[in-house]
């Protein structure tokens, strides 16, 4: 029987000092609680329930469309047991194990959840919980055991005697329960230092009911890292980045000064990708085999096919770079920039909704917006597609083997047919026929001896 997961995430998160609900703070571009949700589903959960409080509507909207994901609201934060009780309406009648995790500890692993379910079932226990041993257990609930090592209960820091405070085995807050959970929750009181309904009190209640409580000790204390402040968010991000980088390097990616490279979980990298220092890869960016990304480039939702190259300081957003094509240094590929095989974009060139055909080139200082450039055409320095008339956008169509001379303005809508040649400095607002030469600028006039006369040197 598959299990369900309840994620407790109604806490206020005041230490973040933010208008954004804590659980929505981005961690490598993904909301904090998104990690817990993904881990829950990855563990095989049949249903996932998230208990939310502060900013409930926003949290709900963020995860709209996830199947088998439910949200329940805890109006008042009366404690972790009270939070869990809010999930009962969704899970009433659910006969499988119920795993409980915390919405602000995104590093909890899939194996930890499945391990708890397995331990509970293998030992015929009523519940199972994770434990850890910390050199500094301050702040955590301490695990109480009898002489035989059987778990008796948990005592919170606030309620612990000095002797109990010396216990180094702690409760990381990850549990698994059998379906008798709901009736037992009713027996949790709030007679304690915090005046809250403590979820770990269930340990004692299960024991009193004559049921066994299993425990699984985790050696990975990193899993415990919680996010209560901006500094902790940064720390968790550092750990996740380290894992991601190590994972990609294991799969054949070369990183130069890996600690300077930022990449998000949705990024996909092929073997022999090379990333130079300071590279930022965001969203669903995909890099094919042998792709090289130069220093300090920022790629978001961008695809670079095998053998493509992004040179340093290039910014790409929803761009597509085919094999053998290259961009940069200092290029800007905006949404729907598309480079076909072998196309070249050089420094200070901006593309927006523009396609460069095979081996077409825009080497320097150009703006191509709403444009189509045919294969082997050359766009000179300073060429601008004037695509916007103040109200609407218009298209520029450039055929194959067209040469657009430097500093030309192509006033859209306009078409330059195959093989045409635009003289430098032209302002083109009429279509240019195939193989024609277009010159659209004032003819040059040289006045002989003018400067000599001006200097009074006579003729």
Sorted by sequence, the CB contacts under 8 Å of residue 89 that are 6+ apart come out as 72
Report the candidate in 322, 252, 310 with the shortest Cα–Cα distance to residue 281.
310
Q: Give me the least distance between CB of 89 and ligand UD1, in Å please.
A: 16
285 touches, from ligand UD1, Ca ion, none (C-beta below 5 to 8 Å by class) = none
Q: Which region, judged by CB under 6 A, interacts with ligand UD1, from 37-45, 170-178, 210-218, 440-448?
A: 170-178
Q: Give me the least distance between CB of 215 and Ca ion, in Å please.
A: 19
Report whether 304 contacts 287 (CB < 8 A): yes
Residues in 219-248 at the binding interface with ligand UD1, rule: CB under 6 A: 226
Length of the chain: 459
137 binds ligand UD1 (CB under 6 A): no
Q: Which region, judged by CB under 6 A, interacts with ligand UD1, from 65-73, 165-173, 317-325, 337-345?
A: 165-173
Q: How far apart are CA 47 and CA 374, in angstroms?
A: 52
- Taking the least distance from each CB to ligand UD1, the nearer of 174 and 411 is 174
405 binds ligand UD1 (CB under 6 A): no
Distance of CA 3 to the CA centre of its chain: 28
Q: Give me the least distance between CB of 194 and ligand UD1, in Å please.
A: 7
- Taking the least distance from each CB to ligand UD1, the nearer of 10 and 383 is 10
Q: Which region, judged by CB under 6 A, interacts with ligand UD1, from 102-110, 243-251, 258-266, 377-385?
A: 102-110
* Class of residue 19 by CB neighbours under 10 A (exposed 0-12, middle 13-18, buried 19+): exposed
E-strand ranges in 30-124 read 30-31, 47-52, 69-73, 98-102
- Taking the least distance from each CB to ligand UD1, the nearer of 77 and 211 is 77
Q: Which region, judged by CB under 6 A, interacts with ligand UD1, from 8-16, 326-334, 354-362, 369-377?
A: 8-16
Token pair of 351, please?
Answer: 């593309």
141 binds ligand UD1 (CB under 6 A): yes
Sorted by sequence, the CB contacts under 8 Å of residue 161 that are 6+ apart come out as none
Question: Is 313 designated active site?
Answer: no
Q: How far apart are CA 417 and CA 404, in angstroms?
A: 11
E-strand ranges in 42-171 read 47-52, 69-73, 98-102, 127-133, 141-145, 151-155, 169-171
397 binds ligand UD1 (CB under 6 A): no
The backbone torsions φ and ψ at residue 322, rounded to the nearest 5 degrees and listed phi first, read: -80, 175
349 touches, from ligand UD1, Ca ion, none (C-beta below 5 to 8 Å by class) = none
In the DSSP assignment, the letter for residue 444 is: P
Q: In the set 173, 258, 307, 346, which binds ligand UD1 (CB under 6 A)?
A: 173
307 touches, from Ca ion, ligand UD1, none (C-beta below 5 to 8 Å by class) = none
Report whether 391 contacts 374 (CB < 8 A): no
Q: How far apart are CA 243 and CA 28, in angstroms?
A: 12
140 binds ligand UD1 (CB under 6 A): yes
Please report where in the chains the tokens 């066994």 appear, as a residue. Answer: 212
79 binds ligand UD1 (CB under 6 A): yes
Query: Which residues are at the interface with ligand UD1 (CB under 6 A)?
Result: 8-11, 51, 74, 77-80, 82-83, 102-104, 140-141, 154, 156, 170-173, 198-200, 226
Catalytic residues: 364
């Amino acid at each position: 029987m598959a299990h369900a997961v309840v994620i407790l995430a109604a806490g206020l998160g005041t230490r973040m000092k933010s208008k954004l609900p804590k659980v929505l703070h981005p961690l490598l571009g993904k909301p904090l609680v998104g990690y817990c949700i993904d881990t829950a589903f990855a563990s095989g959960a049949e249903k996932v329930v998230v208990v939310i409080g502060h900013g409930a509507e926003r949290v709900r909207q963020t995860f709209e469309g996830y199947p088998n994901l439910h949200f329940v609201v805890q109006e008042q934060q009366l404690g972790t047991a009270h939070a869990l009780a809010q999930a009962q309406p969704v899970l009433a009648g659910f006969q499988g194990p119920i795993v409980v995790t915390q919405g602000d500890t995104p590093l909890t692993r899939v194996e930890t959840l499945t391990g708890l379910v397995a331990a509970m079932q293998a030992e015929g226990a009523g519940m199972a919980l994770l434990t850890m041993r910390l050199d500094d257990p301050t702040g955590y609930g301490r695990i109480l055991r009898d002489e035989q090592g059987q778990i008796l209960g948990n005592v919170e820091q606030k309620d612990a005697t000095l002797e109990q405070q010396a216990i180094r085995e702690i409760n990381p807050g990850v549990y698994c329960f059998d379906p008798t959970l709901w009736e037992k929750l009713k027996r949790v009181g709030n007679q304690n230092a915090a005046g809250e309904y403590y979820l770990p009190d269930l340990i004692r209640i299960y024991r009193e009911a004559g049921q066994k409580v299993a425990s699984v000790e985790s050696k990975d204390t990193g899993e415990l890292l919680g996010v209560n402040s901006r500094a902790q968010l940064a720390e968790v991000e550092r750990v996740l980045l380290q894992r991601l980088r190590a994972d990609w390097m294991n799969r054949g990616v070369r990183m130069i000064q890996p600690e300077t490279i930022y990449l998000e979980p949705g990024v996909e990298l092929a073997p022999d990708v090379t990333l130079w220092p300071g590279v930022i890869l965001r969203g669903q960016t995909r890099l094919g085999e042998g792709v090289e990304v130069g220093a300090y480039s920022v790629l978001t939702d961008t695809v670079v096919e095998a053998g493509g190259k992004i040179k340093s300081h290039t910014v790409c957003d929803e761009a597509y770079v085919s094999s053998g094509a290259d961009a940069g240094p200092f290029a800007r590929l905006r949404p729907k920039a598309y480079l076909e095989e072998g196309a070249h974009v050089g420094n200070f060139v901006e593309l927006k909704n523009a396609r460069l055909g095979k081996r077409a080139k825009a080497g320097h200082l150009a703006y191509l917006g709403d444009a189509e450039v045919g294969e082997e055409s050359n766009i000179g320095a300073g060429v601008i597609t004037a695509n916007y008339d103040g109200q609407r956008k218009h298209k520029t169509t450039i055929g194959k083997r067209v040469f657009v001379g430097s500093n030309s303005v192509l006033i859209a809508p306009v078409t330059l047919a195959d093989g045409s040649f635009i003289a430098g400095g032209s302002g083109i607002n009429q279509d240019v026929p195939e193989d024609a030469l277009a010159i659209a600028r004032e003819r040059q006039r040289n006045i002989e001896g003018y400067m000599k006369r001006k200097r009074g040197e006579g003729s």
